[in-house]
Chain A
Amino acid sequence: EADIYQTPRYLVIGTGKKITLECSQTMGHDKMYWYQQDPGMELHLIHYSYGVNSTEKGDLSSESTVSRIRTEHFPLTLESARPSHTSQYLCASRGQGRYNSPLHFGNGTRLTVT
């Protein structure tokens, strides 16, 4: 079972602040993903990475950015938070070399921008 960790679990922050949502996994997975999900709504892929120094934007346009300097770490950054960024952010990873393996999710970060 994949171990994937997200911090913080909850974050309330004011408009204009810079924030970084942390995501780490201990399974050596090369593929990592960020999804955004509003309450009662579907998951939308906002970023993904297929390895170190590889990042791509997902299907849903997002003002956030990501980096992948280490295999185990895939942080998401918002340079200037706005109320429209209020949502749940879910990080996931899948096995190396196993294209068909399922995603394993972290516990998520619930972000509220006031």
Chain B
Amino acid sequence: QKEVEQNSGPLSVPEGAIASLNCTYSDRGSQSFFWYRQYSGKSPELIMSIYSNGDKEDGRFTAQLNKASQYVSLLIRDSQPSDSATYLCAVNLYSGGYQKVTFGIGTKLQVIP
């Protein structure tokens, strides 16, 4: 089982719709979760961090965390063509005495005008 799992997509949504991106993780002890956006050929850029169960909202983005189900999601409201990118779920894992950030494969989002 991979430490962080995402559906690679592509996920296609029409402009203005809500895009829902999902991620599961294997380490029950994980405490920190991050969503990054990566445009083709660019480096990842942080969208949101989430540490507690529940929802965290920032503009059009809402991150949701359910530690009991080991599940984290990202909702993008009023999707825009500029949101078309790969969205990476990242989890802070404790391994071998160190804390490391492990990434999922990423979900490719396509927003259709």
Taking Cβ atoms with an 8 Å cutoff, the residues of A that contact B are 33, 35, 41-43, 45, 48, 50, 56, 58-59, 90, 94, 99-108, 110
Contact (A99, B44) CB under 8 Å given A42-B106, A43-B88: no
Would you call B103 and A42 a contact (CB within 8 A)? yes
How many residues of B are in contact with the other chain, CB < 8 A? Answer: 23
What DSSP secondary structure best describes chain B's contact surface?
strand
Taking Cβ atoms with an 8 Å cutoff, the residues of B that contact A are 31-32, 34, 41-46, 49, 51, 88, 90, 92, 98-106
Would you call A42 and B98 a contact (CB within 8 A)? no
Q: Which residues of B contact A104 (CB under 8 A)?
A: 46
Would you call B43 and A106 a contact (CB within 8 A)? yes
Contacting residue for A99 out of B34, B45, B90, B92, CB 8 A? B92
Would you call B43 and A45 a contact (CB within 8 A)? no
Q: Which residues of B contact A105 (CB under 8 A)?
A: 43-45
- Beta-carbon nearest neighbor of A56 in chain B: B98
Would you call A100 and B88 a contact (CB within 8 A)? no
Would you call A100 and B92 a contact (CB within 8 A)? yes
Contacting residue for B32 out of A41, A56, A100, CB 8 A? A100
Q: Which residues of A contact B104 (CB under 8 A)?
A: 42
- Beta-carbon nearest neighbor of A110 in chain B: B41
12 A/B residue pairs, CB under 8 Å, sorted by A: A42-B106, A45-B100, A45-B102, A48-B100, A100-B49, A100-B51, A103-B34, A103-B101, A105-B44, A108-B42, A108-B43, A110-B41
